[in-house]
A and B are shown apart, each in its own frame.
Chain A
Amino acid sequence: NAGVTQTPKFRILKIGQSMTLQCAQDMNHNYMYWYRQDPGMGLKLIYYSVGAGITDKGEVPNGYNVSRSTTEDFPLRLELAAPSQTSVYFCASSRGTGGADTQYFGPGTRLTVL
């Protein structure tokens, strides 16, 4: 199993540009999550999904959108990128709800908005 994969690993955007961060998992997990990690901080939840077709906002959803058309994939869309979105983005998945089951993390995408 590849686990949780993310692409790209690095990206530089100009202010106002848009992009999609890709996330896929091959563990047949129902739950998937997007977090952002700012320098010197812990992770904050952006969006999560409890299954295909079902998504919900986390702590910091503004400026992002998600979709979950399949169990495997959970892309994160940035519209009109802003410098405040410079961060490292982690995708994660778990079999059961994140509070009662192990979350597995992808390698992260380092995004810089200039």
Chain B
Amino acid sequence: GIQVEQSPPDLILQEGANSTLRCNFSDSVNNLQWFHQNPWGQLINLFYIPSGTKQNGRLSATTVATERYSLLYISSSQTTDSGVYFCAGVEDQAGTALIFGKGTTLSVSS
């Protein structure tokens, strides 16, 4: 079936720590994207990353499509990084709608 699975489900960090979030996806899922949902509920697209590596400031993401996983790295975490991180992909290459994982809830304390 179509699956997008994220780990860990919850993560608690001290400010300044680094973390890695993982997303495993099934064969029929493509075109991975990462989102951050802040504590107020707003969803922000972080990366569109069907393959390879991208970086944006303290965040970077890597997708190894052949092995069906993607990683989101957060370095020097800040309290503003708190929230839920979702990965999502589409079914098949021509898919329109995103299929979301259940998310990783990150709490960063000062």
Binding site for B on A (CB under 8 A): 31, 33, 40-45, 48, 50, 58-59, 88, 90, 92, 97-105, 107-108, 110
Q: Verify A99–B101 contact, CB threshold 8 A.
A: no
Please tell me if the beta carbons of B102 and A42 are within 8 angstroms of each other in the complex: yes
User: Are B101 and A42 in touch, CB under 8 angstroms?
Assistant: yes
- A105-B43, A105-B44 given. 19 additional CB < 8 A pairs? A31-B96, A42-B100, A42-B101, A42-B102, A43-B86, A90-B43, A97-B90, A97-B94, A98-B90, A99-B94, A99-B98, A100-B31, A100-B90, A101-B48, A104-B45, A105-B42, A107-B41, A108-B41, A108-B42
* B96 CB contact (under 8 Å) in A97, A102, A105: A97
Chain B interface category by residue count:
20 to 34
**A98 and B96 contacting across the interface, CB-CB below 8 Å:** yes
Whether B8 is near chain A, meaning CB under 8 Å from some CB there, is: no
Chain A: minimal CB distance from B70 (Å): 15
Q: Which B residues lie at the A interface, using CB under 8 A? A: 4, 30-31, 33, 41-45, 48, 86, 88-90, 93-98, 100-103
A97 to B103, CA, bound (A): 23
Known A105-B42, A105-B43, A107-B41: A99·B102 in contact at CB below 8 Å: no
**B41, B97, B101: the one within 8 Å of A98 (CB):** B97
Question: Given A103-B45, A104-B45, A50–B96 Cβ distance below 8 Å?
Answer: yes
- Residues of B near A88 (CB, < 8 A) are 41
Within 8 Å CB of A90, what residues of B?
43
Tell me the minimal C-beta distance from A1 to chain B in angstroms: 15
Cross-chain contact A102 with B48 (CB below 8 angstroms): yes
Chain B nearest CB: distance from A48 CB in Å?
A: 6
Residue of B nearest to A43 (CB): B100
